[in-house]
Chains A and B, each alone.
Chain A
Amino acid sequence: MQGQAAPQEPKEPVRKSLKQRMAESEALWKETGHYHGIRELTLKEKDPLRYELFHSRLLSTVIASREVAKQISSSVMTREEGELSFALYTPEGDSVAFSTGIMAHIGVMGNFIKWMIGNDWEDDPGIAEGDHFANNDVLISAVHVPDVYFATPIFHQGSIIGWSCGVTHVLETGGITPGGGMSPLAVERQLEGIHLCAERVARKDRLRRDYELKIRRNTRLASFWLLDDRGRIAGNVLIREEVRKIIAEFGFDYYSAAIRELIEEGRRHHLARVRERMIPGRYRCPCFHTSLLKGRPGVLPQANADKLLHFPLQVSVDPSGGMRIDLDGVSRWGFHNFNAPRGSIYGGLSITLAQALDYDGRANSGCMLNIELNLPHGSIVNPDYEFVATGWSWGSVIAIFNGFLKCLSHGFFSRGYLEEVLTGGNVTTGVEFGGRDQYGRQTGGANAEPAASAGGARGVMDGIDAAWSLWNPEGDQGNAEMWELMYPYLYIGRRVVADSGGAGKRRGGACFESLWMIHNSNFVYIYQLPGIVRIATNYGIFGGYGGGPAYVNIAKHTDVAERIAARQEIPHGEGNPDRPDIKRLLKGEILIGEDAQYISEPLKEGALYEKLYLPGGGGYGDPLDRDIRQVERDISLHFVSEEAARKLYGAGGKANGDGEWKADAARSEKLRARMRKARLARAVPVKDWWQKERKRIASGGIKGETAEMYAECLTGAHDWASEYRAFWGLSDDFTFVTATEA
């Protein structure tokens, strides 16, 4: 041990190492099928009130630590968006209780503790009272580089009796372009910026000077990073000190037994929840994402490709309530930033479960114990390249777990719990930027307003408009004025995007857009985190549509300043997507949709950047089954256009004298009957379609990146590949020939 003086030895002559204790705990789980071998919930049964009191003390402690950390950090991400979370762990790294916020990290931070234990951190560098260890290395255990973890040991009579951990999303990580390491150009780990690898960054609860210097010299917005660090230390110390008080009150033996009993209870609660709300069986939802890098300026040669990424999600629920999540046939890892190693998948799973199934029980490590993950070796979800880029792992994770929500929803529906049904919501495409700010300083960071983008439709009501994200469900957009203080742009528009929610009997939540004008700077990089493009990607259910691709519009050099001076109309939103206002009203160099996707040269004063946080949420049920009064309401709120109301919902009506659109029930009924007939007339039996499609596949009718995706995913012997060939009646060695092979 280095550093601090060796703590006082208690009665036991030889103390077990954390590594031994972790191995024993795992052996007990394997042997008994109960966490830590706990077969009876003795404390709960003996004195349920005391046990509940104990749990609520822990819970209020972790929630309070989050609030304290929020006030200490002044980063807009942390304070305004709530991009932080805190938790308490057992000595072996299993989570006992956690706060709200970015809960995806709870299990992942536990695995960070386990990694340190497994790699003998106790011997070297040693773990002492007042130490804080930092990590944002995905292959140790993290989700992506901007989410920085601090783990702090909690000692009692010289032994480690637990850990407190906190995470915040830092704004700038010092990567290839300013921002949080999520740049599309960061196609290898080294380009993402600074990595902390289970590093001891603080002693005696103070940041080390050499560490501070490293952050100052290697990131572009160090003051915010270091304030976040102090916030994490404060939160972790608060948990540590409160745990000491709780031990003084309840006794150490009670504490030690109760934290483990809570986890076993969490495990049982999760199984009971599955059995209460779902149906055993096999659920499927193929998920996709896209990475477009081909021919883009600044891209490294090995990354010069466009890719369609494939995540064939299968969820099996067995009659015990156990779950297996399978990604057999998933794309291989690649030189792009969508790679999502185990840690990030684990994180996505835990945050989704915390929202959809385990929300009011004992949400802790126990919930995850009976879930098996099959993540094929060498794939995008389990890469075998140690320098793989993972900056936008969230892109893959959000795509997959929106599909997971759809899988769960099939179960909830069949069981009759329609109020729990939740189709896929927004697949986030945030925006990062940097350069010179309005104060003349170097800046960089993300605007995390898509934390409130759009929710999927539910079984009994519409999706939430301009709110909810899978990764930070309670986050909001943050005040525009706060973002304007932080970054060199002004909001000239922020509004709900009409027709963005997937159409359905219950409509998917509509997303929103922001329109920014660069202000007081002539050097601002802005780029969309690689977004969903070219594909419709979230998922409706039972006949509802998903949302469409995401995009941005950019007006680089225009006459906007002259128009403002002349008090003429300027754009405040997209308007009609076929002829967006930015193009209709302004003259100059204007890029629309996919043309504007990529990072471009730094923008100057007066340039406009219009970010549409598409897609909206997925819809539920046939749009022709939607209550006509709800369509009327949607039109009055400008959430649905009159054209879409007619074409997608079969809603007949017209504007009255006051210009209000009023539905006509009888006309709508007729229109809908006609539309159902038209469907029958234009559709074909699946059999006929199948025969034609099979021919098309066999004769090379599938080309380009789509054929490349299939060729990659059909490589090797696995269930997805054999099922693909069996479905189309192709031979056992059928594959696609791609341009690179030919």
Chain B
Amino acid sequence: MDKYPPKEVLKDLIEGKLDWRRVKQIMSSPKDADRFEKYLALMQERVRWPEKILLPLGEHLYIVAKGKQRIVKCDCGCEFGDWRENWKLKALVYVRNTRQKLAEIYPGPRSPDPAWCEIREFYCPGCGTQLEVENVPPGYPVTFDFLPDIDGFYAQWLGKPLSEQVSAEDKSVKVTSQWARELSRQPTPKVARNARTSSAARAKRAG
């Protein structure tokens, strides 16, 4: 009972090939305890590179073991660096921040106001797949959607600890501070220099 669906049915499920009746049956049944193992095997069969998948992260992204490292990798082979650094920082981005660019997705009155909202499309530099879309106000930091605790998962939930234990600490700021250092000739901004900024407001903030 808790083995259903078998691997080949799971493959059809993932590929969207099962009709609603069968999907519903799977949804309504107790979950298969070996799902993760079957899933990993299917994903591993799908990719053409040799690294071992530790955790699928998205439709095209995986966290894989590469030598001693754990990195994020696209199924096309493109690599995005350490799993604890937001992979989006190594992607390409296209920002829809004008009425015209937004209207290509949301026509007429359905288009957001670019002063309030921009659409950021993150693409894989290797294959041009759209890996994630953000809709956020301009000036919003890039969101680190999911930082898994891989070792907690393998050791405590699967009962199969990985050989090396690494704490799931967000290292993204290492990437951006490197970028900041490259710009370090410029002083660190303190207050947004709005056109409307008055000396009084600055004094108030300083005090």
Please give the residue numbers on chain A whose beta carbons come within 8 Å of chain B beta carbons, in ascending order: 275-277, 279-286, 288, 290, 308, 318-319, 360, 407, 410-411, 413-420, 459-461, 499-500, 503, 505-506, 534-537, 539-546, 548-549, 551, 576-580, 592-594, 614, 620-625, 627, 647-648, 675-677, 679-680, 682-687, 689-691, 693-694, 696-707, 709-710, 723-724, 726-731, 733-739, 741-742
Least CB separation from B200: chain A residue: A742
B18 within 8 A of A: yes
Least CB separation from A545: chain B residue: B133
Segment at the A interface, from B35-43, B44-52, B65-73 = B35-43
B192 within 8 A of A: yes
Least CB separation from A538: chain B residue: B135
Q: Are A737 and B194 in contact (CB under 8 A)?
A: yes
Q: Which A residues are CB-close (under 8 A) to B140?
A: 286
Q: Are A540 and B133 in contact (CB under 8 A)?
A: yes
Q: Which A residues are CB-close (under 8 A) to B132?
A: 541-543
Least CB separation from A415: chain B residue: B36
Which one of A419, A676, A697 has the highest number of Cβ atoms from chain B below 10 Å of its Cβ? A419
**Could you pull out 18 A-B pairs where Cβ atoms are within 8 angstroms?**
A280-B157, A281-B168, A410-B146, A414-B56, A459-B14, A551-B110, A577-B107, A625-B59, A627-B16, A679-B94, A684-B92, A684-B93, A686-B88, A690-B142, A690-B176, A709-B137, A731-B190, A735-B192
Q: Are B168 and A702 in contact (CB under 8 A)?
A: no
The 7 closest A-B pairs by CB, nearest first: A416-B39, A593-B109, A729-B180, A676-B128, A698-B189, A577-B108, A700-B194
State how many angstroms separate the Cβ of B22 from the closest Cβ of chain A: 10
* Known interface pairs A461-B20, A687-B89, A690-B179; A536-B135 also in contact (CB < 8 Å): yes
A723 to B170: give the CA distance in the assembly, Å: 11
Q: Are B137 and A737 in contact (CB under 8 A)?
A: no
Q: Which A residues are CB-close (under 8 A) to B163?
A: none
- Specify which of B112, B113, B128, B189 is in contact with A679 (CB 8 Å cutoff): B128
Q: Are B109 and A416 in contact (CB under 8 A)?
A: no
Q: Which A residues are CB-close (under 8 A) to B14?
A: 418, 459-460
A460 to B189: give the CA distance in the assembly, Å: 47
Q: Are A284 and B123 in contact (CB under 8 A)?
A: no
Q: Which A residues are CB-close (under 8 A) to B129?
A: 543, 622, 624-625, 676
Q: Are A419 and B13 in contact (CB under 8 A)?
A: yes
Q: Are B176 and A729 in contact (CB under 8 A)?
A: yes
A190 to B149: give the CA distance in the assembly, Å: 47
- Specify which of A680, A691, A730 is in contact with B125 (CB 8 Å cutoff): A680
* Interface bin, chain B: 35 or more
Which one of B14, B146, B148 has the highest number of Cβ atoms from chain A below 10 Å of its Cβ? B146
Q: Which A residues are CB-close (under 8 A) to B192?
A: 697-700, 702, 707, 734-737
Q: Are B38 and A704 in contact (CB under 8 A)?
A: no
A413 to B58: give the CA distance in the assembly, Å: 7
B207 within 8 A of A: no
Which one of B33, B108, B143 has the highest number of Cβ atoms from chain A below 10 Å of its Cβ? B108
A305 to B11: give the CA distance in the assembly, Å: 52
Q: Are B142 and A727 in contact (CB under 8 A)?
A: yes
Q: Are B142 and A548 in contact (CB under 8 A)?
A: no
B160 within 8 A of A: no
Q: Are A710 and B139 in contact (CB under 8 A)?
A: yes
Least CB separation from A681: chain B residue: B128
Least CB separation from B87: chain A residue: A686
Q: Are B108 and A580 in contact (CB under 8 A)?
A: yes
B111 within 8 A of A: yes
Please give the residue numbers on chain B whose beta carbons come within 8 Å of chain A beta carbons, in ascending order: 10, 13-14, 16, 18, 20, 23, 26-28, 31, 33, 35-36, 38-40, 55-60, 88-95, 104-113, 115-117, 119, 121-123, 125, 127-133, 135-149, 152-153, 156-157, 168, 170, 172-173, 176-177, 179-180, 183, 188-198, 200-201, 204-205
Which one of A411, A535, A737 has the highest number of Cβ atoms from chain B below 10 Å of its Cβ? A737
Least CB separation from A505: chain B residue: B59
Q: Which A residues are CB-close (under 8 A) to B153?
A: 279-281, 319
Q: Which A residues are CB-close (under 8 A) to B31?
A: 276-277, 417
- Specify which of B119, B141, B157 is in contact with A727 (CB 8 Å cutoff): B141
Least CB separation from A706: chain B residue: B137
* Known interface pairs A461-B20, A706-B137, A727-B173; A534-B146 also in contact (CB < 8 Å): no
Least CB separation from A553: chain B residue: B109
Give 12 A-B pairs besides A701-B138, A706-B115, A726-B173 with Cβ atoms closer than 8 angstroms: A415-B35, A416-B38, A416-B39, A543-B59, A594-B109, A624-B129, A679-B123, A683-B92, A689-B93, A726-B177, A730-B189, A737-B191
Q: Which A residues are CB-close (under 8 A) to B146?
A: 281-284, 407, 410-411, 414
Q: Which B residues are CB-close (under 8 A) to A288?
A: 117, 136-137
Q: Are B194 and A308 in contact (CB under 8 A)?
A: no
State how many angstroms separate the Cβ of A146 from the closest Cβ of chain B: 29
Q: Which B residues are CB-close (under 8 A) to A733?
A: 190, 205
- Specify which of B91, B133, B141, B179 is in contact with A724 (CB 8 Å cutoff): B141
A623 to B105: give the CA distance in the assembly, Å: 12
Q: Are A648 and B105 in contact (CB under 8 A)?
A: yes
* Known interface pairs A276-B31, A413-B58; A734-B115 also in contact (CB < 8 Å): no
Q: Which A residues are CB-close (under 8 A) to B59?
A: 505, 542-543, 620-622, 625
